[in-house]
Amino acid sequence: MDSPGRREQNKQKTRTAIEQAAARLFDERGFAHTTVRDIAQAAGVGERTFFRYFPTKESLVAGQVRGLIPRLAELLTDRPADEAPYTAMRNAVLELVAQYDVPPAIFITGPPGRLGPDTRADRFLLSDLESALAEALLQRLKAAAPKTDAARLRLHAAVKARAGVSALRALFTIYADEGTEPRTVSQLAELIQDAFAALESP
């Protein structure tokens, strides 16, 4: 019998397989022309298994974003202390993306709220992402400047976090709209670099 730890690892592998199969198919066929059956077959699981993890394909995208939020915040917190806020955010995002074989589905479909009514329950996803990154940035700013007014640091962290998220939103909205989504992780990494460079360019 599998231990609880082994079962959890297997569940995570199945979830990841479904997410990555979906991303490949969304890239090849488009979101609208990809069915749950297609995703399940590509992931090597049955449709019933798919629905144990995701009630709809829309919720797959929203769920992936929900799962990325704490991981990205953790990676941002762990970046070297001497990295500037935008540099640390960019590198945390790049580190997260590097963990995938194909770009996460969110970079192909666009923001969850644009996918349809099934994602209304997750309409606060982007706000949650901003808040998580703002808190991680705040801890970094406090460590770098412990004597600075706390309210001022909180404001700076909130502004920078929301600017960073806006850069990512612009990236996956524009490329999803134009039908020129990144097809590989390396292409996505280049776009992320460019999006964050735009924050500091004239």
What range does the domain containing 66 cover?
59-200
Phi-psi region of 111 (alpha: psi -120 to 50; beta: other; left: phi over 0): beta
- pLDDT the model gives residue 177: 64
More confident residue, 125 or 11: 11
Does the structure show a pLDDT above 90 at 174?
Answer: no
Give phi and psi for 32, each to the nearest 5: -65, -30
Examine residue 38 and state whether it is found in any structural domain, yes or no: no
Examine residue 27 and state whether it is found in any structural domain, yes or no: no
pTM above 0.85, yes or no: no
CATH number at residue 141: 1.10.357
More confident residue, 181 or 81: 81
Q: Are 153 and 141 in contact (CB under 8 A)?
A: yes
- pLDDT the model gives residue 117: 46
Examine residue 35 and state whether it is found in any structural domain, yes or no: no
Examine residue 69 and state whether it is found in any structural domain, yes or no: yes
Does the structure show a pLDDT above 90 at 28?
Answer: no
Domain count, the chain: 1
How would DSSP label each residue in 12-72?
Answer: HHHHHHHHHHHHHHHHHH-STT--HHHHHHHHTS-HHHHHHH-SSHHHHHHHHHHHHHHHH
pLDDT in tens, 77-126: 999 999 999 999 999 999 998 887 767 766 666 555 444 444 454 557 77
Examine residue 147 and state whether it is found in any structural domain, yes or no: yes
